[in-house]
Chains A and B, each alone.
Chain A
């Protein structure tokens, strides 16, 4: 399972490295979102500063949609779907590989976005350990849930429009928990992050289990 996961994740990351879609399209998109928030919320009134953790995670959520779509778009072209099914790779490994590749891309993006909000919204970053832990746990949940719903909508012609409707309401707990955890970390109140980090871990665990057991049947039937 693990070697299959490594193979799939390596393949996906190589595709992104060579095609530079993540670098040239997804990353600039997330910065555009940050700038749009500044247009929507008057930057002079301090609203941006107060809302920064929430805006950061909304930007990550929207970008995670793009990353998930992309992760399955590369498999949809040239009848890759049938090859994936017949490859003999362990479905659990496939799930871990796809989700892992999305998670790695999202984590890199989050680092850059953190620099972005600190620079654009004037946020003084602190408690880096808690911020990093929040990012890792939230990203595991985003990648696992995104991959589960991504494979559900995989074989559909309406995939692009259906996936956001399916996955965004499901990701609401991640948005809430990650935002609160960030707020507490930035405010220098590490104790308050504990419950939220637990929730993020529970969400990631729930969808990882669903993915490990459900990915095979879903891929078979999609």
Chain B
């Protein structure tokens, strides 16, 4: 271990405020979403507009935050940036999965299929795979400076790749005739209550993302502290084992 673990930050007032704010806002999103009127074509499923676009937004924010934190770590080599990187990658994977799940639930009744090889879906699915890969890589590394460097480079490689993935799958689809199942953008002709619910959803999921990252950073710091304690104890035990033997030989 090259960096001594910094003391874990206590769950401060900011964390409590964020927690309560995200609880209230997510509650408001669910409430607004449930009272939305049903539409002709999409019936009850149109209400997913309150959660689906905000979840997708949160997944993009997560990747952006992870990239900034990765650069921060590579420049300053401070453990705090590293914890934010891994926290964002993990929380980002959760939101990406939520995006795919809600989109799929909406797609089944609306498009008639659970999955459509549309450019956005394919990009998001590949993003999930890349995020899971980065998280798996992180978890198999031993704590220390090296883990931070490798996680940061993996996070940056993910972000640099995103535009390439997005355009490649967009062009890939454009070679085929335009999918008849592609949904028209719901925001363009959505009536006011839909937009209100979606906007509240954007704020709610952003605050929720921030709260989850704060919690995940705390857990990471506590884990590093626990690792340090275990290591110190093991060293003390080995010393205790060695000292009587040394006494005999002396």
A residues bordering B, Cβ < 8 Å? 148, 152-153, 156-158, 162, 165-166, 168-170, 172-173, 176-177, 180, 195-196, 199, 202-203, 206, 210, 214, 217-218, 220-222
Given A156-B141, A221-B150, CB of A162 within 8 Å of CB of B169: no
Task: Give chain B residues whose Cβ lies under 8 Å from the Cβ of A206.
Answer: 160-161, 164
- CB under 8 Å from chain A, chain B span 131-178: 132-134, 136-137, 140-141, 145-147, 149-150, 153-154, 156-157, 160-161, 164-165, 167-169, 171-172, 175
Q: Please, which residue of chain A has its CB at the minimum distance from the CB of B141?
A: A156
Q: Please, which residue of chain A has its CB at the minimum distance from the CB of B132?
A: A165
Q: Please, which residue of chain A has its CB at the minimum distance from the CB of B2?
A: A221
B residues bordering A, Cβ < 8 Å? 126, 129-130, 132-134, 136-137, 140-141, 145-147, 149-150, 153-154, 156-157, 160-161, 164-165, 167-169, 171-172, 175
A2 to chain B, nearest CB (A): 24
Q: Please, which residue of chain A has its CB at the minimum distance from the CB of B134?
A: A166
Q: How far is the CA of A220 from the CA of B149 in the complex (A)?
A: 10
Asked if A218 and B150 make an inter-chain contact with CB atoms under 8 angstroms apart, the answer reads yes
Instruction: Show 15 residue pairs from A and B whose CB-CB distance is below 8 angstroms, ordered by the A residue.
Output: A148-B157, A152-B154, A158-B140, A165-B132, A166-B133, A166-B134, A166-B136, A169-B130, A169-B133, A172-B165, A173-B161, A173-B165, A199-B164, A210-B160, A218-B150
Q: Please, which residue of chain A has its CB at the minimum distance from the CB of B74?
A: A217
Asked if B146 and A222 make an inter-chain contact with CB atoms under 8 angstroms apart, the answer reads yes
Asked if A221 and B145 make an inter-chain contact with CB atoms under 8 angstroms apart, the answer reads yes
Q: How far is the CA of A146 from the CA of B85 in the complex (A)?
A: 23
Task: Give chain B residues whose Cβ lies under 8 Å from the Cβ of A210.
Answer: 153, 156-157, 160
Q: How far is the CA of A214 from the CA of B160 in the complex (A)?
A: 14
Task: Give chain A residues whose Cβ lies under 8 Å from the Cβ of B137.
Answer: 152-153, 162, 166
Contacting residue for B167 out of A162, A199, A214, A217, CB 8 A: A199
Q: Which of B130, B140, B156, B168 has its CB near the most chain A CB atoms (within 10 A)?
A: B168
Given A156-B141, A162-B137, CB of A221 within 8 Å of CB of B168: no
Contacting residue for A172 out of B126, B147, B175, CB 8 A: B126
Given A199-B171, A214-B153, A222-B146, CB of A173 within 8 Å of CB of B136: no
A84 to chain B, nearest CB (A): 15
Q: How far is the CA of A222 from the CA of B133 in the complex (A)?
A: 16
Q: How far is the CA of A152 from the CA of B149 in the complex (A)?
A: 10
Task: Give chain B residues whose Cβ lies under 8 Å from the Cβ of A152.
Answer: 137, 150, 153-154
A73 to chain B, nearest CB (A): 17
Asked if B133 and A217 make an inter-chain contact with CB atoms under 8 angstroms apart, the answer reads no
Contacting residue for A180 out of B133, B153, B161, B172, CB 8 A: B172
Asked if B129 and A169 make an inter-chain contact with CB atoms under 8 angstroms apart, the answer reads yes
Q: Which of A168, A170, A196, A217 has its CB near the most chain B CB atoms (within 10 A)?
A: A170
Q: Please, which residue of chain A has its CB at the minimum distance from the CB of B146?
A: A221
Given A153-B137, A165-B133, CB of A176 within 8 Å of CB of B160: no
Q: Please, which residue of chain B has its CB at the minimum distance from the CB of A156?
A: B140
Task: Give chain B residues whose Cβ lies under 8 Å from the Cβ of A148.
Answer: 157
Given A165-B136, A221-B150, A222-B150, CB of A173 within 8 Å of CB of B145: no
Contacting residue for B175 out of A153, A165, A169, A180, CB 8 A: A180
Task: Give chain A residues whose Cβ lies under 8 Å from the Cβ of B164.
Answer: 173, 199, 202-203, 206
Task: Give chain A residues whose Cβ lies under 8 Å from the Cβ of B175.
Answer: 180
Q: Please, which residue of chain A has its CB at the minimum distance from the CB of B157?
A: A210
Task: Give chain B residues whose Cβ lies under 8 Å from the Cβ of A172.
Answer: 126, 165, 168-169
Task: Give chain A residues whose Cβ lies under 8 Å from the Cβ of B132.
Answer: 165
B147 to chain A, nearest CB (A): 8
Asked if A177 and B168 make an inter-chain contact with CB atoms under 8 angstroms apart, the answer reads yes
Q: How far is the CA of A82 from the CA of B81 in the complex (A)?
A: 28
Q: Which of A166, A169, A202 has its CB near the most chain B CB atoms (within 10 A)?
A: A169
A77 to chain B, nearest CB (A): 20
